[in-house]
Structure 1
């Protein structure tokens, strides 16, 4: 019985994602007054709204997802831009406005990128942090 409870707790503590499609895409962001282009392996939900780096989605072992568990609301970052950017800063991530190319079109988004190059879009990150905080209150 103890094992079943432990496994259930473990399963519930890992963020879950809707069905995502993964692949390599072109990504660009503005830096130093010009666009920087890179190829990136990402997974995107069926609504093409939520992005996460492929390593996070498939392995579930990345700094981005660990940051969800270690982020607690703080007044220190409450005056820094949008709530999702503030949460990213608090988690030692770097928020970044990006565009990604999908089906030949550029789409605007943003992400919170971490030291291991894992990333998650900032709105999804904020949602997961808020869900995690509710689970522990």
Structure 2
């Protein structure tokens, strides 16, 4: 089975296990508890490296999990959960907090700023190595 298909299935099962829908009438909506539950779960670095997963919408804003990796993969794969803001949107106005994290690139890491859901900021669960 292709790696992308396996990754997609893993995300689907993880989200189903996290109970991501807040109401049956709003499919794809993530409440804070479901988002925190997803972030607290471990992930398979080999299966997820180099992918981006659409998790749903939290407070009306699209949430994604990126799994970048660079030179030593899959060991250095990280997970970054953040809002995917529309062009020109303000992070604070969207209900997020700007956080800068180290993202693996080639044989180094570079700082990159993301708009993170508030519910994940205090625990630091938006960034997992």
Name the TM-score, length of structure 1 as normaliser: 0.28
Greater radius of gyration (CA): 1
Give the number of the structure with larger relative contact order, counting CA–CA contacts within 8 Å between residues 6 or more apart. Answer: 1
Higher helix content, 1 or 2: 1
